Amino acid sequence: MIDFEPKGAIFDVDDTLLDNKPGNPGYGLHERARLAAAREAGERHDIQALKDLSIADNLEAFMSAPVHTLEAAVWNILLMTGQADTQTINPENTLLQEIVARKDELYKDILLNEGEEVSGATKFVKSLAASGIEDSMAIASTAIRRDVDIFLGKMGLDSLFPDSRIKTKESITHPKPNPEVFNLAFSSLGLPEDERQYVCAFEDDPRGIMAARAAGLYVCAIGTRYTPEQMMSLEVPPHTAFATFNEFMEWFNLGEG
């Protein structure tokens, strides 16, 4: 059981609250949109390596990206397929821009039709809000705002996160593992600086965990992509990790999961 009274909570979205099916290679929602966009670009420009991009390489491009952004994943794809020759992302690269834009188009329909919560996420968020911190909850995501709004609306969570407390890709200059998005989210809560350590940040990805730790928050990891044991053994681990939100319900003393 948690040994302090939380003053607030900050949530990542993708694979923390929103289930993008990360544990099933080839079927992940983001994965499918990114792969289709890359292959379409290959067809348009007659780039065989993009036409033939594999499910495994598409997934590895995201998992090994140094920062948690679509652009970083797509740049890795361009490196793998010989369409880029430097590790430094060039945001002016027209092929990068084309694939990113198309991926976002494809993902919108997938999210609208197939987007679901991580099991128990909505119940947990509402229960945590009802415990007394409803006015001190924020979103810290490197997804685009459109996708965050779609998901929160689908799950009926939009009333808990007013505009001023939703920080997304459009809000930041430096993506995770930089703490910028979590610092902005914390600032939106209006809490004293010395209460950072009592604000719980919920994450699923090592880069997000690093960002939340660097922001001085109490980091809670959910095992959608990695096991709790894997996350607790990271070089920069969370403070605690569980496989399900049912376990977090009990840990936060919010009743049976």
Average pLDDT of the chain? Answer: 96
Q: pLDDT tens for residues 196-214?
A: 999 999 999 999 999 999 9
Examine the pLDDT at 257 and tell me if it is beyond 50: no
Examine the pLDDT at 152 and tell me if it is beyond 70: yes
In the block, residue with structure tokens 């792969």? 35
Q: pLDDT tens for residues 116-151?
A: 999 999 999 999 999 999 999 999 999 999 999 999
Residue count (the chain): 257
Q: Which residue has the higher pLDDT, 24 or 142?
A: 142
The CA distance from 152 to 155, in Å, is 5
Q: pLDDT tens for residues 169-189?
A: 999 999 999 999 999 999 999
Q: Are 175 and 67 in contact (CB under 8 A)?
A: yes
Mean pLDDT of 235-257: 92
